[in-house]
Amino acid sequence: MAQQHRPMDDLFSHLTLADVHQDVIRNIVSIRESQDLFDDLSDRPDEWALAQQVEDQVRPPPYRSGTPVIHRPFEDAGWFNAIAWPFHHWRASRFSDGSFGVWYGSDAAETTVYETAYHWYAWFLRDAGFHNEPVVGERKLYTVACDAALLDCRPLAKRYADLLHKTDYRYAQSVGARVHREGHPGLVVPSVRYAQGENHVVMNPAVLSNPRFHCQLTYRVEGPCIVVEKTPGRAWMRIETAAL
């Protein structure tokens, strides 16, 4: 039994803390509301997006409680969607077997696109047999403040390759279970899907605050690529599906 757990004990003995005080990007499923709210103002999709952008800018800031532990269940949908959702709706992921909630955010919007495009295409479309169809998906990105001392896995990523295996999450889930059980707020890890990116794996919502709308994206399967649009009809990124 001791021999079986030695690799994880060795990993934790080499971990250091990253004192994180920065904004990270959260990428979630969300329809592009402008198509419903503003399509009676113009027949041009780019003007719908502009109207949505203006509406987001002038909307009053979300409620932020001075006593969040007490009031967070009553805060607005923006806070719930950007922060609270995964802590109320547990599901299996790289660092959880589904028995507890984990929040994932990234250092940049591009990193979130590669991460979510993989799961959308490989886990949803491919499994459902729709990967060769012209499917469209809508996403909303939030900027969220993260203030925490997170376990820093970045220097150890190559030495403990199973932690970031592309498809086998068993080792990472066992690490996540220990992090959760021992009460650590989370981890910082390199992105598996985007070599230049980093992900923040958070297990305590108290270290997250101040969600702000970042942008709206459309994912569109076009042949061998996923075309990502910020403005409808205008490609911002292209991701080859063969690499997913």
- CA geometry: angle at 193 spanning 189 and 198, to 5°? 30
Amino acid at 232: P
Question: pLDDT means per 10 residues in the chain (244 residues)?
Answer: 62 97 96 51 60 54 52 64 96 97 98 96 80 86 98 95 95 97 98 97 98 96 95 95 88
In 3D space, the residue among 59, 86, 87, 64 whose CA is nearest the CA of residue 74 turns out to be: 64
Per-residue pLDDT at 123: 84
Q: Could you tell me the pTM of the whole model?
A: 0.80
Q: Which residues on adjacent β-strands are paired with residue 17?
A: 151
CB 184 within 8 A of CB 206: no
Per-residue pLDDT at 124: 81
Paired sense of beta strands 136-152 and 186-190, if any? parallel
Per-residue pLDDT at 131: 66
Per-residue pLDDT at 78: 80
Q: Is 87 exposed, middle or buried (0-12, 13-18, 19+ CB in 10 A)?
A: middle
Token reading at 129: 């047999």
Per-residue pLDDT at 30: 86
In 3D space, the residue among 188, 142, 193, 190 whose CA is nearest the CA of residue 167 turns out to be: 193
Boundaries of every domain in the chain: 2-243
Amino acid at 33: E
